[in-house]
């Protein structure tokens, strides 16, 4: 039995960087119809095949004219223009008579601008009559015209490798008449749970047993960050079985997460199982963070194997700290910052210097729009309710001893923020 | 022809509140396996059926003892305890001999605490020998024990009506051995596009035609906010056809979005088509916001019909301003705040007072960790590239004339934030 505690804890940032430096996974590229590509990461450079918009078009309903002819127009000095016709969005204008000095076409939003016109006077600034229109205000050249290529010029980059595809990217591809896009297939992450206390959801709970809830936490977390979970579930406490399961998981996925068995105690079969795999490299075991300090990581032939606590809060922190950067790394993408809020801490919070700490907090908004951040009293890594009764995470860096009551701090928001019960704020 | 401009623009907040006050839609409740319930909104109150954890358990690997017996322990004065046995996670302890004054059990993380013990000394603070263990540090009562019911007591609320289900909620349901949850079915939103310039993706683009890209914008936006899109696509410019399509969409969905035809010009069949539907109530048409001021809303028998611009940026703003609150309202839920960043504005930005404005900005982070926010020059509501080359939206309220260069402002983040090219910052 190896009954010794952790000798040292790797700094979070060092652990992440070291892990990323060992990883060597390349994701297959697949081609998807653009309307199925949301949240995938683009794997090619896409350029506009033509100018977008493909022609000058009116941005309003109004009269297309020569701007110079409107220079002296005012409500007291309306200028008369002859209306040559109407152009609707979608109309072909190639056979229309060009616009002369005091000619106008009634044009609708999206319509092509007839030859000779270089501005559109909005209908609000006109009075229309029998075959003519009075212009009440001057317009500068190109007023109310969306110019050809102003959105994208032919050859402009619309999408780049590493861009996570959002609705606006899909719309831009559509406007370029591009119907498919090459993306990286989703990262696949296997979930393996160890722990002789674990039983499957729906089992009868006999003495000492608990439901394997961490499997569900990880599975749904993976879905939340657009990763494909491969749920392998509970494996028995048998070195060979664990090792075999990890090897098979490595063959079928890009990253393996194993819960449980992370303490350095007598029953820790997991590190031993992973160490025994050919080509396995230990990256770290023990991280200077709370919760989650028992997190470990190995790399086998470039694929990461994360060993995380089976306790839900410690597990979630490990996913945030290690899995998310791994997934972004594999996807060659960057993350959008998380939603955060700045507010006043309601009570002093002490930190164990040298550890990066993730405190669960309860944030509320008072009637003035100020936010108050209350650290929750219960801090155990098994206390899932802190993520449900609370609505935020306050991260305290390694070199900070803590924060005073009333200090302004910034917390990440994970659930909606209610109004403060003002009677409770001190 | 009704060639008149908008007479008035409803304030954004008033428009939203008026719209919500007219809405009367109730969503069916469905039952889902918990691992399929991510992002759905809970439709029932769920309480813990038993204490969680269901028993006192060890939070570490260590020795379960009576805390009082360790009071004088130190590395210089170790206290000897007799080791009665080992308890692993999942073991039944009902037949174990109770812990006496100087008795101990070796317990592993997650293991039940044997009768008589009230604290666990971590292995790091012990030296184990032949059937005995030396305790080097004292522990207070309940040290390193996760107590029965400390996460949820029997009867505690785990989930409430209106909670959007996140991974931690699913894990909590699993830990309560609850395998199904009642949620609201997804909100269904129909998308109808009008505009004689529109052609389907993949068509040959003849003169004056453009691809119906707004359909893709809305469809993927709906998926992004966990709403089910019903894509009806382009309808011809025919009053009866438009009206018939809207009526059918109202029968098959909770909300209808129609793009195009939103200006008050001669070709505006859409408002006329919707007004002619039995029971149709006009809520507003014309909103004091830029872009998106031509947005309109009707309600037909409690179901909202949004008329939004076919121009992508104006459309997106209308979705953010009107559709998102509608969806939250139908789901009886609250939104988590959006990701935002505070930074220094790089140049003066003037606002048309009376209008709420949504400026696209480009945010970067300099080497000191400060953020700089650069308003993009192109502001047209058709300029999709501003959402791609830029990465944020800066909202200026109606009563603000603008911001000065160097002023600190807060922008919403929609794409990742790059490092600043420091040579470009003035």
Residues 6+ apart with CB under 8 A from B36: none
Along the 426 residues of chain A, how does pLDDT read in single tens digits? 344 556 789 999 999 999 999 999 999 999 999 999 999 999 999 999 999 999 999 988 899 999 999 999 999 999 999 999 999 889 999 999 999 999 999 998 889 999 999 999 999 999 998 999 999 999 999 999 999 999 999 999 999 999 999 999 999 999 999 999 999 999 999 999 998 899 999 999 888 899 999 999 999 999 999 999 999 999 988 899 999 999 999 999 999 999 986 554 555 789 999 999 999 999 999 999 999 998 999 999 999 999 999 989 999 999 999 999 999 999 999 989 999 999 999 999 999 899 999 999 999 999 999 999 999 987 778 889 999 999 999 999 999 999 999 999 999 999 999 999 866 554
Domain with CATH 2.170.190.11 in chain B: 57-146
User: Six-digit token pair at B12?
Assistant: 């954004």
Nearest-angstrom CA–CA distance, B16 and A422: 27
CA-based nearest residue to A316, from A248, A381, A243, A405: A381
Which part of chain B has CATH 3.90.105.10? Answer: 35-51+152-184
Q: How far is the C-alpha of A341 from the C-alpha of A362, rounded, in Å?
A: 12
Which residues neighbour B164 within 8 Å (Cβ) at sequence distance 6 or greater? A416, B39, B40, B41, B42, B331, B333, B336
Reading the block at residue A127, the tokens are 């009075």
Q: Across the interface, which of A54, A333, A337 has its CB nearest the CB of B339?
A: A337
Q: Do B123 and A316 touch (CB under 8 A)?
A: no
- Residue A316, sorted as left (phi over 0), alpha (psi -120 to 50) or beta, turns out to be alpha
Which residues in chain B have Cβ-Cβ distances shorter than 8 Å to A105? none
Res B2: pLDDT: 41
Site from A49, A85, A210 to mutate, B interface, most B CB atoms within 10 angstroms: A210
State both tokens at A374. 């209350």
Which of A41, A175, A199 to mutate against chain B (most B CBs within 10 Å)? A175
d(CA B231, CA B209): 21
Residue length of chain B: 426
Cα(B418)–Cα(B367) distance, integer angstroms: 11
Range(s) for CATH 2.40.340.10 in chain A? 340-424
Residues A90, B388: C-beta atoms closer than 8 Å: no
Architecture of domain A57-146: Beta Complex (2.170)
Q: What is the chain A residue with the closest CA to B194?
A: A89
Of A6, A110, A417, the CB nearest to B337: A417
CA distance A412 to B60: 28
Q: Where in chain A is the domain with CATH 3.40.980.10?
A: 12-27+185-331
In this structure, the strands spanning A255-259 and A303-308 are parallel
Q: Do B416 and A334 touch (CB under 8 A)?
A: yes
The secondary structure element, H or E, covering residue B82 is strand B79-87
Q: B25-84: per-residue pLDDT in tens?
A: 999 999 999 999 999 999 999 999 999 999 999 988 899 999 999 999 999 999 999 999
Q: What are the chain B neighbours of A169 within 8 Å (beta carbons)? A: 388
The confidence score (pLDDT) of residue B5 equals 58
Closest partner residue to A382 (CB to CB) among B53, B179, B333 is: B53
What's the CATH number of domain B35-51+152-184, 3.90.105.10, 3.40.190.10, 3.40.50.80, 3.40.30.10? 3.90.105.10
Cβ proximity of A16 and A322 under 8 Å:
yes
Give, in order, the Cα–Cα distances in Å from A140 to each of A67, A71, A72, A316, B376: 6, 8, 11, 58, 21
H helix and E strand count, chain B: 8, 28
Residues of A in contact with B108 (CB under 8 A): 263, 265-267
At the top level of CATH, the class of B12-27+186-331 is alpha beta
CATH of A12-27+185-331 among 3.90.550.10, 3.30.160.100, 2.10.10.100, 3.40.980.10? 3.40.980.10
Instruction: Please name the residues in contact with A400: beta carbons below 8 A apart, sequence gap of 6 or more.
Output: A351, A353
pLDDT for position A421: 85
CATH number 3.90.105.10 given to A29-52+150-184: yes
Q: What is the pLDDT of residue B123?
A: 92
Q: Which residues of B touch A213 (CB under 8 A)?
A: 171-172, 174-175
Spans of chain B, pLDDT less than 70? 1-6, 261-267, 422-426
- pTM of the entire predicted model: 0.93
B306-347 pLDDT tens trace = 999 998 999 999 999 999 999 999 999 998 999 999 999 999
Residue A346, SS3 per DSSP: coil
Report d(CA A405, CA A396) in Å as an integer.
14
A382 and B38 within 8 Å at the Cβ level: the answer is no
Distance from C-alpha of B2 to C-alpha of A256, rounded to nearest angstrom: 64
- Taking CB atoms and an 8 Å limit, are A38 and B223 in contact across chains? yes
Count of A–B CB contacts within 8 Å? 326
How far apart (Å, rounded) are the C-alpha atoms in residues A157 and A182? 15
- Residues B217, A170: C-beta atoms closer than 8 Å: yes
Q: How many CB atoms lie within 10 A of CB A142?
A: 15
Residue of B nearest to A208 (CA): B90
- A333 CB neighbours in chain B (<8 A) are 416
pLDDT score recorded for residue A264:
46
**Closest residue of chain A to B36, computed from CA coordinates:** A220
| DSSP strands (E only) in A213-355 | 228-234, 255-259, 280-285, 289-290, 296-300, 303-308, 340-345, 349-350
Q: Are B366 and B422 in contact (CB under 8 A)?
A: yes
Q: Which chain B residues contact residue A316 at CB under 8 A? A: 167-168
Residue A1 pLDDT: 38
Question: Domain A340-424, CATH 3.40.1010.10 — does that match?
Answer: no
Q: Is A360 helix (H, G, I), strand (E, B) or coil?
A: strand
Residues in chain A: 426
Interface test with chain A among B114, B174, B234, by most A beta carbons within 10 Å: B174
CA distance B297 to B15: 9
CB contact under 8 A, B214 and A171: yes
Q: Give the Cα separation of B262 and B309 in Å (integer).
A: 6
Residue ranges of the alpha helices (H) in A293-377? 312-318, 324-331
Alpha-carbon gap, residue A369 to A371, rounded angstroms = 7
> CA–CA distance from A301 to each of A23, A245, A279, A304, B56 (Å)?
8, 16, 6, 8, 41
Chain A hits for B128, Cβ within 8 Å: 3
């Amino acid at each position: 039995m190896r009954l010794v505690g952790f000798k040292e804890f790797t700094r979070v940032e060092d652990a992440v960087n070291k892990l990323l430096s060992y990883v060597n996974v390349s994701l297959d590229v697949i081609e998807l119809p653009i309307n199925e590509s949301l949240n995938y990461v683009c794997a090619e450079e896409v350029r506009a095949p033509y100018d977008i918009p493909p022609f000058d078009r009116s941005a309003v309903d109004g009269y297309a004219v020569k701007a110079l002819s409107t220079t002296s127009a005012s409500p007291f000095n309306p200028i008369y223009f002859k209306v040559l016709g109407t152009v609707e969005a979608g109309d072909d204008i190639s056979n229309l008579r060009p616009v002369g000095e005091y000619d106008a076409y009634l044009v609708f939003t999206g319509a092509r601008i007839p030859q000779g016109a270089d501005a559109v006077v909005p209908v609000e600034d006109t009075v229309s009559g029998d075959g003519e229109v009075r212009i009440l205000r001057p317009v500068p050249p190109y007023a109310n015209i969306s110019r050809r290529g102003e959105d994208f010029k032919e050859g402009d980059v619309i999408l780049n490798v590493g861009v996570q595809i959002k609705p606006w990217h899909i719309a831009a591809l559509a406007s370029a008449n591009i119907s498919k896009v090459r993306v990286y297939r989703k990262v696949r992450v296997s979930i393996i749970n160890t722990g002789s206390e674990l039983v499957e959801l729906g089992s009868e709970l006999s003495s000492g047993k608990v439901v394997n809830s961490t499997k569900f936490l990880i599975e749904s977390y993976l879905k939340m960050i657009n990763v494909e979970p491969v749920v392998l579930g509970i494996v028995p406490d048998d070195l060979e079985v664990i090792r075999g399961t990890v090897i098979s998981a490595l063959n079928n996925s890009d990253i393996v997460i194993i819960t449980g068995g992370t303490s350095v105690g007598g029953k820790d079969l997991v590190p031993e199982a992973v160490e025994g795999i050919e080509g396995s490299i230990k990256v770290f075991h023990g991280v200077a963070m709370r919760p989650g300090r028992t997190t470990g990581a190995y790399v086998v032939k470039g694929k990461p194997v994360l060993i995380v606590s089976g306790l839900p809060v410690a597990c979630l922190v490990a996913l945030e700290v290690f899995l998310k950067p791994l997934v972004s790394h594999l996807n060659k993408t960057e993350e959008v910052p998380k939603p955060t809020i700045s507010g006043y801490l309601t009570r002093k919070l002490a930190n164990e210097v040298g550890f990066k700490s993730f405190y669960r907090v309860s944030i509320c908004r008072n009637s003035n729009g100020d936010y108050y951040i209350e650290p929750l009293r219960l801090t155990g890594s098994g206390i899932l309710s802190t993520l449900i009764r609370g609505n935020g995470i306050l991260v305290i860096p390694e070199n900070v001893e803590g924060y005073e009551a009333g200090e302004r701090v910034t917390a990440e928001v994970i659930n909606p923020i209610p109004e403060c019960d003002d009677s409770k704020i001190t």
